[in-house]
Amino acid sequence: MKKIILASASPRRKEILSLTGLNFSVCVSDYIEDLNLPLRPRALAVHLSRKKAEAVAHRHKDSIIIAADTFVLLNNTLLGKPRNDKEAEKMLRMLSGKAHSVITGFTIMDTGSAKKISRSAETKVYFRKLGREEILAYVGTKEPLDKAGAYAIQGLGAVFIKRIDGDFFNVMGLPLFALTESLKKFGVYVPGKR
């Protein structure tokens, strides 16, 4: 089987891909994301994932590259990762009591054959109303600082979520169902080989 490369610095994506039992290496993409490109949200997520994959593809001959990009969409406003506590507080106040979408674009690329698939997944997340003190307390944990939308569904942020519609792993940063279905087109099956 070809070498599989995860083009991501995200520990969450690494954790999710590890659930498949696939052997893979991590190679961080140096592509700088720009959420201000004039594209619709799902197209933007796919575009960013494709650019991340392309940025590492030249370093790995005859390999399968997996790259992804995730952000939160609230009323046509894209929320990426907050840069500081103030931005995290602002994002959490915006999400309080509302539903939002978590959109992930992913690209799988075979550097040997140049075959490429890009897809997106969307999960609806419903937040309960948040009090000012709990927002401040949560931001004080520093958990929100490297998370799209300033929360972690797999961490303390889970207590803010009433329900989700869609793939839980997508909210973490990698839509496992859609990814593993797409990997079959590259001869990669989970679990095991065929």
30 as an active site residue: the answer is: no
User: For 9-56, what is the HEC assignment?
Assistant: CCHHHHHHHHCCCCCCEECCCCCCCCCCCCCCHHHHHHHHHHHHHHHH
Residue with tokens 């997106």: 120
> Would you call 146 exposed, middle or buried from its count of C-beta atoms within 10 A (0-12, 13-18, 19+)?
middle
Alpha helices (H) in the chain, listed in sequence order:
11-18, 41-57, 85-95, 132-140, 168-172, 176-183
Q: Are 149 and 91 in contact (CB under 8 A)?
A: yes
> Which phi and psi angles does 110 have, rounded to 5°?
-95, 110
Name the catalytic one among 30, 69, 110, 165.
69
Within 8 A by CB and 6+ apart from 24, the residues are: 3, 4, 5, 6, 17, 66
By annotation, the residues acting in catalysis are: 69
